[in-house]
Chain A
Amino acid sequence: MNLTTNTTLFDRLGEPARMRHLAAYDLFHPELRDHLDRIATRSAQRLQAPVSMASILLDSAQLIIGRHGLPDTGDELQGTPAEWAMCTHTVLAAAPFLLTDNTADPRHADNPLLAVTGLRSYAGVPLIDGSGHVLGAHCVLDATPRHFTEENIDVLNQGAAEIMQILDRHRLP
């Protein structure tokens, strides 16, 4: 998938109706993060992956709301530019997105985020709310090339379902 220009990408992610759906959740509640960290840890362990995340795609950035294997930078670094986030592909596709080895895929070989972290493979599934809006993604990343299986995707889908249940409990009044 080609993300074309940043403006086009940000317009798709920042569509007003989608942003209003995102704004209906209390994404900054500390208890939410604790719950989602646990799900990320479990998915990482079940898939034997060093990194797992639950994240929301804002208009121009990925906001990480649950994490395992990433440095805890507190309030300082809570996400990444949307054009570099692998989860952007999952959100735009509204379907599982897999990357076996970024160094062998010209679409992702120059991704600065993968270059800086040394991560090479990715599997993500979308987080979809009851009205069909794709809010974000649940994913794992690995430092080695990896073929993800249907069973792996099932594990991520189970995690995504739980993440959506928890998000629903954190809707703003």
Chain B
Amino acid sequence: MTTPATPDAYGLSRPTMADAHEAMHRVHGHTGRSSWARLLAAAKLTGTETDEPSLLRLIEAMTHLDPVSRLCAQALRIRLTSHTHLAAAHLATRSPA
């Protein structure tokens, strides 16, 4: 299942599974690959999903994986929420009166 691409809000892209993959490798360094594999197993995902429900499931599993992954999950959650708020604000300012 693929979720349609969400427009950028003020230049902010909505986080994707690829962003989560990149973030896990970034914060775990040389154990990034094994941490990602553990995360996918915990979330029961393959890593090839592109829909938002899968991303949210991944972030939830990330929260419980280990303390560093929890912070990584929090960062992704903040970016998701920021995008939602800003996209709404962006739409409101562009809507005809």
Contacts and interface: CB of A to CB of B under 8 A. Distances in A.
A76 interface: yes
Max chain A Cβ within 10 angstroms of own Cβ: one of B10, B27, B67, B85: B27
A17 B19 CA distance: 20
A59 B23 contact: yes
Contact of B28 (A16, A24, A78, A81): A16
B14 to A, nearest CB: 11
Interface residues of B, number: 25
Main secondary structure, interface of B, reads: helix
Contacts of B71: 19, 22-23, 27, 58-59, 63
Contacts of B6: none
B21 interface: no
Interface of A: 10-11, 14, 16, 19-20, 22-24, 27, 58-63, 76-82, 84, 112, 115-116, 172
Contact of B70 (A23, A59, A84): A23
B78 A79 contact: yes
Contact of A81 (B12, B23, B67, B89): B12
Main secondary structure, interface of A, reads: mixed
A11 B32 CA distance: 13
Given A60-B75, A76-B81, A81-B82, A116 B89 contact: yes
Contacts of B70: 23
B10 A112 contact: yes
Contact of A63 (B26, B29, B67, B78): B78
